Amino acid sequence: MVPTRELYWNISCHGLMYPLLLIALTVFFYGFYRRYRFWRIGQADTRPKLVLERLKAVLIYVLAHKKILKDSYAGIMHLAVFWGFLILFIGTTVVAAQEHLKLPLLFGNFYLGFSLILDIFGLIALCGILMAACRRYILKPERLDNRSDDLISLLIIFLILASGFFLEGLRIAGTGDPWADWSPVGNFFSLFAANLSLKNIIFLYQIFWWGHLLLALGFIAYLPYGKLLHIITSPLNIYFRTLEKKEVLPFIDFANEERESYGLEKLEDFTWRQLLAADACTRCGRCQDNCPAYLTQKPIAPKQVVQAIKQNFSAAGYKLTLREGMLNAHTAKETVATEKAVLSLWDNGTIKDSVWSCTTCRACEEECPVFVEHIERTIELRRNSVLTQDEYPQELMLVYRNLENNSNPWGIGWTERSKWAENINLKIMDEKKEVEYLYWTGCAGSFDYRNKKVSIALAKLLQLAGIEFGILGTEEKCCGDAARRTGNEYLFQQLAQENIEILQRYNFKKIITACPHCYNSLKHDYPQLGGSFEVIHHTEILSDLIKKGKLHLTKKDAAITYHDSCYLGRYNDIYQPPREILKNIPGLKLLEPKRNKEKSFCCGAGGGRMWMEETSDTRINQNRAEDILQTGAKLAATACPYCLTMLEDGLKALNIENIKALDISEILLEALSTGVNGEEKK
């Protein structure tokens, strides 16, 4: 006997499933079309390039769950449901092919393997749903906010899976299936019907068959109207995500663009991709679990901001689509502009309160499994606040004035910029004109008393290694990071254009800087204004010099920890060079904080927060100082002037006196025994 089974055992009128399927699909496509029209209200945003790379990303992040699996429990849970359901869908497609295309599929060994695989993956999916229910309603992690839609989604999927197994069990019990061992889960469920008469088994089978069918069709129809929409929108958002460097912000061409408003204020200011991202958000809460501002009780929760945007404008978008029917996107956009239901973003308290709390550390984006781009949205909101509304934190008014008048946030006279280098015989570019490396000191390295020591240490290291370099001296201006990240794009471009003009006068191969914020601006922002330079961080060149034997290190017995700068690590993926330097110092024991590398906890100074007051009881830098304390290290290494300042302040505020914060260049200089060619260091 050839292994197989009857597809419609004791089911009459099964042809009714096709008109029911048509109804379900109609409801589905209507709902999805409404969402699509809502996205199309947004501005144009071209994203179809690099198709193969985008498809590869979908395979990695959707099918393989690369980001989702960073959280092991939630990742395994979701992977189980996803792949279980996907295999069951493929199985249903195979059954349809058998029935309608008359393909000889469900026979023999293929049928036996088919039955076993479907049972295994169905059980995996069922376990995933139970894990999800346990997590959401028993474990209840803080980041999850339960809504009725969550329960509906779980119940629909659970009932589809459970009814499918009961259906299979009834069939096995009613037919005495000789190949039941190849359907182990269904065989187990058949035990519940072991004492029933054949008549009752057939009756229950018919009930469960139609019930299972209606649940499956209901699932299809419900998809665009609730949380389950993310099954479609999340892969779409991953596909259409920004493939440009994650550090680059949208450029405003002030010379050629005349606008009444800049940044994000109303629905039509968003791009269609940003509106799609709001629908892609699954409210998983990973962003807020890793947000330093949220974790220190600031008025911000990245998830809530996305949901506030979605709720505010979904209502307006639906009202528009229902009223206007089949209007094209352009007409719809014009209508929205005058639609009273569409309020300014600034009328939403969640959005307004959160904008200035963000440190732009990118921890939220690093963790988001569906690539919702929070930082771009935050900066665009700040641009609107600064350039259009003329409303921003009071502290920034002084910072902007200082940048305009003296080209540095402190407002110190420009003649003081190169005084840190007076006693170490450095070459000034205005005199030298051509060098191999240009050392970009940055404002902190030029004016901040503590960070001047870092500038001196780095300069001495480069001299000892025989590196030919020069500095701009008084010609150097602020890179503009603080202006751009706080939304003052006009001031940023003014500073950047002046710097580019100066840099282009001289001949050099590379720019060295010890500041990740300067590094990021010079390397990624300046090309938007025509200034393309090869930029390296000081940890990169110092690591390379050690490898080449240009710096000779002596033993330094100490336990040390390293704090990853957000703009060096998450923005630019520079994690190893600083660690390689520390590991090459004999006797130095590197102890990692619990939050390190891509999960490093921000110091609190990014995104212009260096210049704004932090008013909550728990300060970000103190939270990070506690991480440092828990490592047991006596030295805390940094590679960023902002981080150095914030860590020192955090350690002092907590009265931690036995841990010293130092820049890596300072640690390296202390560990130096000889200079180039074995000469004793001076």
Phi first, then psi, for residue 672 (nearest 5°) are: -80, 130
Phi first, then psi, for residue 61 (nearest 5°) are: -95, -20
Torsion of Cα atoms, 225 then 231 then 234 then 239, to 10°: -120
Structure tokens at 60: 């990695």
Give pLDDT, residue 106: 85
Residue 681 CB coordination number (10 Å): 15
Q: In this predicted structure, which of 186-190, 282-286, 339-343, 659-663 has the lowest mean pLDDT?
A: 339-343
- Given a cut of 60, whether residue 318 has pLDDT beyond it is no
- By the 8 A CB rule, do 186 and 91 touch? no
Structure tokens at 680: 């004793």
Residues 597 and 671 in one domain: yes
Which residue from 448, 449, 445, 447 is spatially nearest to 458, judged by alpha carbons?
445
pLDDT of 154-196, one tens digit each?
999 999 999 999 999 999 999 999 999 999 999 999 999 989 9
Look-up of token digits 């009756």? 203
Q: For residues 552-578, b (16+ Cβ closer than 10 Å) or e, as one string?
A: bbeebebebbbbbbbbbbbbbebbebb
Residues 411 and 466 in one domain: yes
DSSP structural state of residue 528:
G
pLDDT of 527-547, one tens digit each?
999 999 999 999 999 999 999
- Given a cut of 60, whether residue 680 has pLDDT beyond it is no
Strand, helix or coil for residue 180: helix
Residues 201 and 75 in one domain: yes
Residue 6, beta-bridge partner list? none
Cα→Cα distances 318→321, 324, 348, Å: 5, 10, 19
Residues 112 and 146 in one domain: yes
Torsion of Cα atoms, 490 then 496 then 502 then 504, to 10°: -120
Q: Is residue 45 part of a domain?
A: yes
Residues 493 and 567 in one domain: no
Q: Is residue 1 part of a domain?
A: no
Residues 228 and 323 in one domain: no
pLDDT of 573-603, one tens digit each?
999 999 999 999 999 999 999 999 999 999 9
Question: What CATH number does residue 656 fall under?
Answer: 3.40.50.10700
Residues 200 and 282 in one domain: no
Residues 374 and 384 in one domain: yes
Q: Is residue 648 part of a domain?
A: yes
Give pLDDT, residue 257: 80
What is the C-alpha separation between 681 and 554, in angstroms, rounded? 11
Q: Is residue 248 part of a domain?
A: no
Of 320, 353, 388, the residue that ends a domain is: 388
What is the C-alpha separation between 597 and 366, in angstroms, rounded? 11
Strand, helix or coil for residue 296: coil
Mean pLDDT for the stretch of residues 363-371: 95
Give pLDDT, residue 53: 92
- By the 8 A CB rule, do 590 and 558 touch? no
Query: How many domains is the chain partitioned into structurally?
Result: 4
Residue partners of 56: CB distance under 8 A and separation at least 6: none
Mean pLDDT for the stretch of residues 450-477: 96
Strand, helix or coil for residue 299: coil
Query: What is the extent of the structural domain holding 318?
Result: 267-388
Cα→Cα distances 148→136, 152, 217, 226, Å: 12, 6, 20, 10
What is the C-alpha separation between 286 and 369, in angstroms, rounded? 8
Q: What share of the chain is helix, strand, coil (3-state, %, to 5)?
A: 60, 5, 35
Of 240, 259, 292, the residue that ends a domain is: 240
Residues 529 and 554 in one domain: no
What is the C-alpha separation between 665 and 148, in angstroms, rounded? 55
Which residue from 532, 310, 309, 508 is spatially nearest to 427, judged by alpha carbons?
508
